[in-house]
Amino acid sequence: MTLNAAPTDLTGKICIVTGANGGIGASAAEHFAALGAKVFATDIGPDFTGSAEVTYQPFDLLDPDGLNACVDWINASAPNVLFNNAALFDMGTVLDADLAQYDRLFGLNVRAFYAVMQAAAQSMVDTETQGSIINLASQAGHRGEALVAHYCASKAAVISYTQSAALALAPHKIRVNAISPGVIDTPMWKTVDGLFAKYEGKEPGQKKREVGEAVPLGYMGDPADVARTAVFLASDQSSYITAQTLCVDGGNVLR
């Protein structure tokens, strides 16, 4: 019997990565490029610290002009793959997480996320590309948390939009899935740890250590763990998978 193994090779594919200037986004961009893809990456900062093989263009997705320019950039790029990763994190109880925080988190994590997904989907339909859209959710999107109300709700919206988009785009053979990372050791965790220190009265570094030890596998994940899952979803290995949210969390969320 001859095994018809689908490749993970991404040669010839155009991949767009948002939130690419560090952590999960940077790792995904590097993995895509290493597997032969032409990678276009964006983030808010003017300088890109990732792979020299990646073409970088900054956009402020919370600014209407910046978001419109990013949409035009996506259309011009004609992607096969979107890694829709840009997001903000903040913390506060329901009593003090105000509407200004809501506007910032939902402005990027939901509004801009949706506009970017929509632009990539429209480009794929227009070019008859049977592409893959990969949205970044979070374990926070599967449950509420007392100190992370707005962020949890924004990531729950990502999961819901992923399912709706997958069903809408299935007739075009465009797959839409999400990745739900758990606690991943990225530069953002310095900010997260500081916020927990403020709200829970913990010592610096204490929360990060505690959440890593609480993972069933016993440690925090690495950005590459998420990037490798993104490669799977971008490649033909996952050609019959759509409307799913894959948990990359060491066993934190049981589904």
Rounded to 10 degrees, the C-alpha dihedral 131/137/165/170 comes to: 50
Q: What is the pLDDT of residues 11-41, one digit of tens each?
A: 999 999 999 998 999 999 999 999 999 999 9
Give catalytic residues, as residue numbers. Answer: 151
Q: What is the pLDDT of residues 92-151, one digit of tens each?
A: 889 989 999 999 999 999 999 999 999 999 999 999 999 999 999 999 999 999 999 999
5: pLDDT confidence band, cut at 50, 70 and 90? low
Where do the domains of the chain lie, and which CATH numbers do they carry?
Answer: 14-184+223-248 (3.40.50.720), 187-220 (no CATH)
Q: What is the pLDDT of residues 72-83, one digit of tens each?
A: 999 999 999 999
Bridge partner residues of 82 (DSSP): 16, 133
38-42 β-sheet, strand order: 55-56, 38-42, 14-18, 81-84, 132-136, 175-181, 245-248
Q: For a pLDDT cut of 70, what percent of the chain falls above it?
A: 98
Alpha carbons 141 and 152: distance in angstroms, whole number: 5
Check residue 171 and give its pLDDT. Answer: 98
Instruction: Tell me the angle at which helices 64-77 and 113-126 cross, rounded to the nearest 10 degrees.
Output: 30
Q: What is the pLDDT of residues 139-190, one digit of tens each?
A: 999 999 999 999 999 999 999 999 999 999 999 999 999 999 999 999 888 8
